[in-house]
Amino acid sequence: MKRNTLSPQTKAAQALHMLDRESGAVVPAMHSASTFARDESYEKRDGFVYSRYGSPTTTQCEQIIGALEGGESLLFNSGMSATVAVVEALPMGAHVVAQSMMYHVGLDWLNRQAARGVIGFSSFEEGDLAALEAAIQPGKTKLVWIETPANGNWAITDIAAAAKIAHAAGAILMCDSTAAPPCTTQPLALGADISFHSATKYLNGHSDLTAGVLTARQGLDIWDEIRSVRSFQGTVLPGFEAWLLIRGLRTLFVRYKQASENALTFARHFESHPAVAQVMYPGLPSHAGFEVAKQQMQGGFGGMMSLLLNGAEGRALNVAKACQVFIPATSLGGVESLIEHRRTVAGAGRGIPENLLRLSIGIEAVDDLIADLAQALERTA
C-alpha cells in the first residue's frame, strides 16, 4: 500500500509511520543534541550540522505537518516568531495588508514595523473582500495576511477569493489558520502561498508548549529567506517540543472533531439564552461567514466562539470569574475549555466590546460546560 495515498487522519495517527530506525519503537525517538558528528568521509549525516539550523525530531515533525497541509513546513519556537520571520523576509519597504481584527500581538508587530519604516502597512475589515482589494497597492503590496476564523468575532474570509485578489496584485497570501487546523481547512489547496499556525493551539492541543509552523507551496520565492531568518534568529523549535508536538498531532483529528461537536451543541444552546445577546460561532447559520465556513471547514467549525452578554457593565468579567469548569485563561485549542474576558486580556482600545467573552471549547462532556456557564450567568444576573 502506498503510504502517500493514505488519508490524512491515518498519516496523523501513525505520525507518518515513523518507527525508530534503531529499535523499531513505534514512537520516534527524541533528539535534543545541539551538534551532529560528521561521518568517516567528513560528510554530514542526514544533513544535520547544528541544531539552530534544524535537527532530526523537528524535521520529523515538519514532515508530518507538511503532509497534512500539502506543502513544506518549517517549525518555530512560537507562532509569533514564525510570523515575524515572514515579515523579516520581505524586501525592505514592502507593503503589507492585514485584517484590522486578528491576533492582536501580530497586529502590534505590523504596526511597530510600519512605525519604524521597515514596511508599509494597511488594514482592512476582516472578512470583507472588497475592503481587502481596496487596501492593496498593486505592485507594492507583497504580503496579504488573513486570519480565518478571526480572533474576536470569528469572521470568515474566503481563502480562495483572497488568494485571487492577492495574486492579481503580485502579492502572496499568508493564511493564519490557527483556529482551523488541516483536519478542517487546507489553505494551500485553496490557493494560499503560506499556511500559518500557532501550533501552541490545536496542532499540539495540550497547552504544554509554544510553537509556530509555516507551510509553503512549492517554489515560493521568499521561502529560503524565511529559513535563513529562522537560523539567524535561532527561533527553530527545539527537539523536546517537536517530540511533544508529534504526540499531540496524532490525536488532532479526534480532538478537533470532539471540540467542534461540543461547540456546536454549546452555541445552539446559548443562542436562545436570555442572558446572551449574540453567539458568534461560524457553525451557526446566524453567523455572517456560515456559508463560506461550510465550504472551507468541512472537518468541523472548531471550538472557538465569542458570546456577547446582556446586562450590566462588568457582568462578562464576573461570569468569567464565576465559572468552575471553564478555566479563566487565555489561549485556545487545548483539550480543556477556557474562558476569557477578551478586553481585559488584549487591552482596551482595540474595539473589543466590554460584554464579550471568548470561549475555547475543549473535549469535556458538553453538558458539564453548558451547566457551568448557566450557573455563572445565574449567579451574576
Ligand X SMILES: Cc1ncc(COP(=O)(O)O)c(C=O)c1O
Active-site positions read 52, 103, 176, 201
* Contact range with ligand X by CB under 6 A, out of 12-20, 72-80, 125-133, 274-282: 72-80
CB of 180 to ligand X, least distance (A): 10
The amino acid sitting at 341 is H
Q: Distance between CA atoms of 378 and 381, rounded to whole angstroms?
A: 5
* 147 touches ligand X by CB under 6 A: yes
* 146 touches ligand X by CB under 6 A: no
Q: What is the largest CA-CA distance in the chain?
A: 75
* 59 touches ligand X by CB under 6 A: no
CB of 179 to ligand X, least distance (A): 6
Q: Distance between CA atoms of 345 and 161, rounded to whole angstroms?
A: 32
* 80 touches ligand X by CB under 6 A: yes
**Using an 8 Å Cβ cutoff, are 76 and 85 in contact?**
yes
- Of 51, 73, 122, 178, the one binding ligand X by CB under 6 A: 178
Give the cell for residue 248. Answer: 499531540
- Of 58, 75, 103, 136, the one binding ligand X by CB under 6 A: 103
- Of 72, 133, 176, 193, the one binding ligand X by CB under 6 A: 176
Question: Strands (DSSP E) along 61-193, which ranges?
Answer: 72-76, 95-99, 120-124, 141-147, 172-176
* 148 touches ligand X by CB under 6 A: no
**Using an 8 Å Cβ cutoff, are 302 and 205 in contact?**
no
Query: How many residues at the interface with ligand X, by CB under 6 A?
Result: 15
* 99 touches ligand X by CB under 6 A: no
Q: In what order do the strands lie in the sheet with 356-360?
A: 276-280, 304-309, 356-360, 338-341, 327-328
Nearer to ligand X, 169 or 211 (CB): 211
Q: Enumerate residues 6+ apart whose C-beta is below 8 A from 366.
A: 261, 262, 265, 266
Burial 130-156 (b: 16+ CB within 10 A, else e): ebbbebbeeeebbbbbbbbbbbbbbbb
* 151 touches ligand X by CB under 6 A: yes
* 88 touches ligand X by CB under 6 A: no
CB of 200 to ligand X, least distance (A): 4
* 200 touches ligand X by CB under 6 A: yes
Question: What residues from 246 to 285 belong to the interface with ligand X (CB under 6 A)?
Answer: none
Nearer to ligand X, 103 or 223 (CB): 103
Q: Distance between CA atoms of 139 and 105, rounded to whole angstroms?
A: 27
Q: Enumerate residues 6+ apart whose C-beta is below 8 A from 213.
A: 62, 65, 73, 74, 75, 76, 82, 196, 197, 199, 203
Nearer to ligand X, 126 or 147 (CB): 147
Nearer to ligand X, 229 or 322 (CB): 229
Nearer to ligand X, 215 or 380 (CB): 215
* Contact range with ligand X by CB under 6 A, out of 2-10, 41-49, 78-86, 127-135: 78-86
* Contact range with ligand X by CB under 6 A, out of 46-54, 77-85, 181-189, 364-372: 77-85
Residue 236 DSSP label: B
CB of 308 to ligand X, least distance (A): 20
Query: How crowded is the C-beta side of 306, counted as CA atoms within 13 Å?
Result: 23
Question: What residues from 309 to 338 belong to the interface with ligand X (CB under 6 A)?
Answer: 331-332
Q: Distance between CA atoms of 238 and 287, rounded to whole angstroms?
A: 39
CB of 331 to ligand X, least distance (A): 6
Question: What residues from 203 to 222 belong to the interface with ligand X (CB under 6 A)?
Answer: 210, 212
* Contact range with ligand X by CB under 6 A, out of 74-82, 119-127, 292-300, 355-363: 74-82
* 306 touches ligand X by CB under 6 A: no
3-state secondary structure of 325: coil
Nearer to ligand X, 106 or 239 (CB): 106
3-state secondary structure of 115: helix
**Binding residues vs ligand X (CB under 6 A):** 78-80, 103, 106, 147, 151, 176, 178, 198, 200, 210, 212, 331-332
